[in-house]
Amino acid sequence: MWILATLIAVLVCLLIVRFLKQLWSHKNYPPGPLQFPLIGSIWRILPNFSQDIFIKLAKEYGNIYTIWVGPLLVVVFSGFEAVKESMVKHSEYFEERPVTPFFEAIAKEKGIVLSNGHTWKQQRKFGLVTLRKLGLGKKGIEHKIEEEAHQLAEIFARAKGQPLDPSSPIINSVTNVICSLTFGHRFSLEDEEFIKLRDALQDIVQFTVTFFHFLYDTLPWLMKHLPGPHKKVFASCDFISSFARKEIEKHKAHRSLVEPQDFIDYYLLQIEKSKKDPNSTYNEENLSQCIFDLFAAGTETTANTLLWALVLMANHPDIQEKVQKEIDDVLGSSQSFSFQDWKKLPYTRAVIHEIQRFKYILLFGVPRQCTKDVNIMGFLIPKGAIVFPDFCSVLFEPKHWETPQEFNPNNFLDKEGKFVEKEEFLPFGAGGRACLGEQLAKIELFIFFTNLLRTFTFQPPEGVKKISEDPVVRLVIPSQPFKICAVPRSNES
């Protein structure tokens, strides 16, 4: 018996010594919750998980802190100074994506969002150049967005001021913008394949940062053989890839290499041009994944921002009235306007920015991986560490915003009512991995929002004092399901 007790004591001592050596080897890392064997410091997050959990941790441990997910080192940058120092000034150290089992399974290190190295550089550069060619900031894409905005207004008008759920119409409209950009055409809202595409995108986004997501990344070898929601997600990924491949084949059969009309046309032309380049990553597998990335990054975020916009306008009728007055005064009875009119509408512009700040749409920035040992603000960030820039903390940092916890367009206006650009406004990220579709999103938000506000006044349904502003906590943060009254404006110019 004493032999067993001795062995147990020795084992415990060895574990304690190993634990102490581990703590000593991490002494130069940023501070954080105590790391335990096996579970790391995840115990500090999971029981009290909420949208502001990372801001709470920053108040306790500072603007750069460490969380251990099992043996995995995660460093969080919180607040504007820490985010700028890491993501902008030292961006070259944080341009890689971590290759986790889940991300590897859905993207296979292809495309733009989840690729790395040479593949990422080529695909991102091509994406940026092509989006510019397709007319971001010019009449090309604006015209298509305006068409979708008019279609959306017609759907709202059919409700004749009665309560309606705006989520499906808005998601359909935003998804069709990406369809027009990528495929060169929109889909009927009754098209079964289009409905499946929209639903598949939602399935994937809603699964990310859930318990089963973390379980898959922890035990991929086991989860591959077990049933669960991850199986539905992979089926949704396969459907989107199949959808993309069908469109690629249609374009190959009828493509216009002389005058490309959409993203697929431009990419197929690039494949032709790069045939003799042994270092080219332009191929149909990467094209298919780029299409997936454009939809995944460009639908849920913009659609949910617009839904939050309706909630906030209904709950703040004084602000809504000021926006409508400015639109009427500046645009008058003009049936068409361009993104350049944004400059003539400082209050409307401030309101859209404040919607993005106050209801920041992501739980946290998409993770990156440190490529080399680097010292940031006195702390060692080791090679291989996964890093999260907490952009939400920047958008709510008290020293940079007049009323961070309140919806207040004055955060973006000076005393004369002129719009003020703020360096701390980072809803699209920062550094080399910032959002590829930032300009597209800005145009969409402006045209959809302005069209809706000039046509309708949004109100809570009768008997409802205020629409809930409580979020649903997941990767892309939507509002609670709600109904709203889109009352046609009797004073429409």
Total residue length of the chain = 493
List the structure tokens of 141.
Answer: 């894409």
DSSP secondary structure, 435-471, as one string = -TTHHHHHHHHHHHHHHHHHHEEEEPPTT-SS---PB
Helix (H) or strand (E) holding 388: strand 386-390
Which residues, in sequence order, are bridge partners of residue 19?
A: none
List the structure tokens of 140.
Answer: 């090309």
Minimal CA–CA distance to 51: which of 480, 478, 482, 474?
474
Q: d(Cα 211, Cα 234) in Å, to the nearest integer?
A: 16
Q: d(Cα 364, Cα 76) in Å, to the nearest integer?
A: 10
Burial class (CB in 10 A: 0-12, 13-18, 19+), 67: buried
DSSP secondary structure, 304-342, as one string = HHHHHHHHHHHH-HHHHHHHHHHHHHHHTT-S---GGGG
Q: Are strands 163-164 and 484-488 parallel, antiparallel or unpaired?
A: antiparallel
Place of tokens 């959990």: 53
C-beta neighbour count of 61 within 10 angstroms: 18
**Cβ–Cβ under 8 Å, residues 328 and 454:** yes
**Cβ–Cβ under 8 Å, residues 383 and 371:** yes
Q: Which residues are documented as binding site for heme?
A: 435
C-beta neighbour count of 428 within 10 angstroms: 16
Query: 76: left (phi > 0), else alpha (psi -120 to 50), else beta?
Result: beta
List the structure tokens of 388.
Answer: 């999260």
List the structure tokens of 153.
Answer: 């207004």
Helix (H) or strand (E) holding 196: helix 192-207
List the structure tokens of 159.
Answer: 């409700």
Q: Which residues are documented as binding site?
A: 435
List the structure tokens of 384.
Answer: 């291989």
